[in-house]
Structure 1
Amino acid sequence: MAMTMNYCFREGIIYASLEALVPETHFVRKLDRCIDWRFIYSRVAHLYSPAGRPSIDPVILFKMLCINIVFGFNSMRRTCRECDMNVAYRWFLGIPFEEKIPDYSTWSQNYIRRYGDSDIFSQIFEYILCRIQEQGLLDLTTLFGDSTHQKASANKNKYEDVEVEVVRKIYEDELLEEINADREAHGKKPLKEARDTEYQFDEETGEEIEVEVRPTKHIKQSRTDPESGLFHKGEKERCFAYSHQTFCDRHGFVVRFKTVPGNVHDSVSFFDVYPVLSEKFKGKIQNLVLDAGYVTPAICRAVLQAGQKLYVPYKRPMTKKGFFRKYDYVYDEAYDCYICLQIKLQIKLLEYVTTNRNGYREYKSDPKDCKSCPFLSRCTQSGNHQKTVTRHIWEAYKEEVNELRYTPEWKEIYPQRKETIERVFADSKEQHNLRYTRLRGLMKNEHQVSLIFAFHNLKRMARWTQ
């Protein structure tokens, strides 16, 4: 057979429509069929002027962001290049070959002038989530929660030491009420609210007004992105970052999230999300699955009082090596005391002394008993030879949650964490640009994450329904 040489035949002309060139099985067709993208028009109409020259179609702009996130392009420049050459992307955007793809700077200018101060990003997330729920794909029986960090666009070595106010916890007032009730039950005087005040000059009225002064603490603040927080956890790299408190269902659909600075602990940012989540899906959530970082009395109480079950792993007591652990001292609920059984054939009591401002009851031993104890070096290093054990006034909620570890439901539900919320984070970091950010500022990063999780949900819906 004779050899045919047509290697350099590049002058061919294609007479075909975009519709004919894009295969029916291509993923962009599934993305296009999942939702009616025209819903964006009504959401952004108030951001556009009725007069003036025509603008870039807002649906095209958000579809370009969808391509950027779903297909993992790490910049708008690259997204524009890919859309310019790729037939399927042009079909998805509805832009024929004779027309130019919008410039990469078009989105940034539209964000600055229109979308930056709007809630369109959260509206897109909520719209896609509603479509998922309408199709019966959302299973709210069990939700899986965790937090992941996203490296900020900030040099970890460029920071300054600043003094900031300690953020008030959402349950502080309720906790103080229960502390005072507990103190009064033990014959103690109630604590006054820890409030410091000072007088400041009000420029509008010209008078001095009394304002509350919150306690302060010192933190390391980035000079590049002051709204990020210094993240340092375990063996992970110390860096400035943002954290995303996230909840998903057993199918991996994200149902709620919140972006906070990277130096906010998971147990604190939990209360930025959970109350809203619990109210929105009231009566539908039965189980909540979290990791060991969330095992605090306040969280256990909040979940159990909402009528839900909390499944968490075992958290080893944080005791100094070589010393007795807290469970070596037995709590007697009837007599409200701890019992020390370290000396054979002898029972020594640690009796209630007070309830401190943090909500912990303090139980202390008799120094005379401890002074001659052969296990004193493994018990306490206090100068007066007195052992102190603390117990939170909401500790019973925590103990109830820990008991769930021995149920068949825990063994069935908790192992699903690695297949749900951990998988959401892994996919988002590896495929959807969640590993690091080039944006600076809390609001910009929350907008970006809104789209990442929105299009993550859209991608999963496309695979589940088609």
Structure 2
Amino acid sequence: MAMTRHFCFREGFIFNSLDGLVPQDHLVRKLDTCIDWDFIYPYVADLYSPVGRPSIDPVILFKMLCINILFGFNSMRRTCRECDMNVAYRWFLGIPFEEKVPNYSTWSQNYIRRYHDSSIFETIFDHVLDQLQAHRLLDLTTVFGDSTPQKASANKNKYQDVEVDVVRKAYEFELLKEINEDRREHGKKPLKQVSDVEYQFDEQTGEEIEVEVKETRHIKQSKTDPECGLFHKGEKEKCYAYSHQTFCERHGFVVAFKTVPGNIHDSVSFFDVYHPLFAKFGKEIRNMALDAGYITPAICRAVLKDDIRLYIPYKRPMTKKGFFRKYEYVYDEEYDCYVCPNIKILEYSTTNRNGYKEYKSNPEDCRDCPFLSKCTQSRNHQKTIARHIWEEYKEETFWLRE
């Protein structure tokens, strides 16, 4: 076969329509067929002025965001360039070749000025979920929850030490109430409610005035992105990141989400997602599968009290090598005490503010115990075991072993 040299022709005209150039099996065609994008207009109407020059079509801006996510560009700047060059993306946006695609600056300014402080993204998300549910595409019998860290665009060495308020846990008041009930049953004084107000003497008026008091802590806040948090878990590199708390159903559809700073633990941000999820779909949810990081008494209690079966992977006890593990000490529910491997009693001592009941052994029994070296290293030869007042909820969960 003779060699043929192709003539490079780059200035020709294409006599065809956009529709004719896009393959019939392209993903953008499926998107355009499945979703009627006009539903966005009523939701964003209040964000635009009734007078002034014409704006960029809001549907185009949201379609560009879909292209950015679905095709994995991870950059709106690159997405704008791809939309300008790709025929399929232009067809999806409805922009012919003779018109310009919105550039990155146009898209970002629209986001900052109109959508950044609005709830439009959550509104669109809820609308799509409602459509999925109306067409019976969601199977909410079992939902799966976990969080995914996403590295922020921030240098971990550029930070400032700031003092921030400690956010109270959603269940803190209810926990204290049950702590005090437990303390009364054991003949101990109830603990005082931690108040956000204290009284101070005003020298000018000679009267006591209320002063707001909040618990604070110091954190390393990024100078580049103050909203992210310093994330560090296991062997992963310490970095500034965000954490995406997500719940999905059996087919993989996300049904609830929340983005929080990376320094917030999964078990804390869980409630911000779970309560709205249960309020919307609680009647349909029968099972919930969570990662091992969510195995806390408060989470187990919240889920099980809503009549949902909870499945969590088994987590090996964090016990020092060579020592007895906690499950080797038997809890006697009737007498409210623990029995050690040497058949000695650990009696109730107190219930602390964190909700843990403390059980302590008799030092005289432990002093000459043959298992002392495997039990405790305390100087007074006394073994202490902590049991949360909601521990029974953890024991009712279903453990999944690998």
After TM superposition, the score normalised by the length of structure 2 is 0.93
- Match of 1:385? 381
Alignment correspondent of 1:394 = 390
Q: Distance in 2 between matches of 1:319 and 1:83?
A: 56
Match of 1:363 in 2: 359
Contact 1:35 1:131 in 2 (8 A): no
| Range that drifts further, 320-329 or 155-164 | 155-164
Cα deviation code 1:254-308 (max 9, x no counterpart): 0001111111111111111111111111210000000111111111111110000
How far apart, CA to CA, are the structure 2 residues paired with 1:191 and 1:275? 28
1:173 aligned onto 2:173: yes
Farther off after superposition, 81-90 or 270-279? 81-90
Q: How many residues align?
A: 397
**Unmatched 5+ stretches in structure 1:** 202-206, 416-466
CA distance in 2, matches of 1:217, 1:324: 35
Counterpart residue number, 1:154: 154
Indicate how the Cα distance of structure 1 residues 6 and 367 shifts in structure 2: closer, same or farther if over 3 A, else same: closer
Cα deviation digits, residues 379-423 of structure 1 (max 9, x gap): 11222211111111111111111xx23xxxx68xxx8xxxxxxxx
Is 1:373 matched up with 2:390?
no
Letter in 2 for 1:397: Y
**Are the aligned partners of 1:229 and 1:263 in contact in 2 as well (CA < 8 Å)?**
yes
In the aligned structure 2, how far is the partner of 1:230 from the partner of 1:105?
29
196 and 118 in structure 1: CA distance in 2 versus 1, 3 angstrom threshold? closer
Separation in structure 2 between the aligned mates of residue 2 and residue 360 of structure 1, nearest angstrom: 86
Determine the structure 1 residue equivalent to 2:279: 279
Match of 1:123 in 2: 123
Contact 1:365-1:386 at 8 Å conserved across structures = yes
Distance in 2, matches of 1:50 and 1:10, equals 45
1:218 Cα offset (Å): 2.8
Give the Cα separation in 2 of the matches to 1:199 and 1:258. 37
Structure with higher RCO (Cα < 8 A, 6+ apart)? 1
Going from structure 1 to structure 2, the CA distance change for 1:374 and 1:37 (only over 3 Å counts) comes to same
**C-alpha offsets along residues 64-120 of structure 1, whole Å, 9 cap, x if unaligned?**
111122111232232222222211111111111111112221111112221222111
Q: CA deviation at 1:162?
A: 3.0
Q: Residues 237-258 of structure 1, C-alpha deviation per residue, up to 9 Å, x if partnerless?
A: 1111111111001111100011
Q: Given residue 329 of structure 1, which amino acid in structure 2 is its aligned partner?
A: Y
Deviation at 1:6, TM superposition (A): 4.3
CA–CA distance in structure 1, aligned partners of residues 158 and 345 of structure 2: 53
- The 3 A distance-change label for structure 1 pair 114 and 188 is same
Give the direction of change, closer, same or farther, for the CA distance of 1:321–1:161 in structure 2 (3 Å limit): farther
Q: How many Å separate the matches in 2 of 1:363 and 1:120?
A: 52
Q: CA 1:368–1:99 in 2, change beyond 3 Å: closer, same or farther?
A: same
* Structure 1 residue 208: Cα displacement: 8.0
8 Å contact kept, 1:142–1:288: yes
Q: CA deviation at 1:314?
A: 1.0
Shift of residue 223, structure 1, vs aligned partner: 2.3
Match for 1:248: what amino acid? Answer: C
CA distance in 2, matches of 1:2, 1:297: 78
- Give TM-score, length-normalised by structure 1: 0.81
* Same amino acid, percent of matched pairs: 76
After superposition, what is the alpha-carbon deviation per residue over 1:201-222, rounded to whole angstroms, capped at 9, x for unaligned? 9xxxxx9852442333332222
Offset, 1:174: 0.7
**Equivalent residues in 2 for 1:28-427 (5 A)?**
28-195=28-195, 197-198=197-198, 209-342=209-342, 347-401=343-397, 404-405=398-399
Q: Judge conservation of contact 1:139–1:250 (CA < 8 Å) in 2.
A: yes
Letter in 2 for 1:91: W
User: Tell me, which stretches of 5 or more residues in structure 2 are unaligned?
Assistant: 202-206
The more displaced of 289-298 and 157-166 is 157-166
Distance in 1 between residues matched to 2:259 and 2:396, nearest whole Å: 30
Q: Deviations over 1:318-360 (max 9, x none)?
A: 2222221111211111111101123xxxx21001111111111
- Compared CA separation, residues 2 and 197, structure 1 to 2 (3 A): closer
CA distance in 2, matches of 1:79, 1:390: 54
Q: 1:2 to 1:268 in 2, by over 3 A?
A: closer
Shift of 1:377: 2.3
Give the secondary structure class of the aligned counterpart of 1:312: strand
Corresponding residue SS for 2:396:
helix
More helix by share: 1
Provide the rounded CA distance (Å) in 1 between the counterparts of 2:153 and 2:11. 45
Match of 1:451 in 2: none
Relative to structure 1, is the Cα distance of residues 200 and 65 closer, same or farther in structure 2, using a 3 angstrom cutoff? farther
How much does 1:166 deviate? Answer: 2.2
Is the 1:142–1:286 Cα contact (8 Å) retained in structure 2? yes
Give distance in 2, aligned partners of 1:97 and 1:368.
Answer: 89
Residues in 1 aligned to 2:121 and 2:352: alpha-carbon distance in whole angstroms: 44
Q: Hey, what's the Cα distance between the residues in 2 that align with 1:71 and 1:170?
A: 38
User: After the TM superposition, which of the residue ranges 184-193 and 1-10 deviates more from structure 2?
Assistant: 1-10
Matching of residues 6-45 of structure 1 within 5 Å: 6-45=6-45
The 3-state SS of whatever aligns with 1:369 is helix
Matches within 5 A, 1:443-458: none
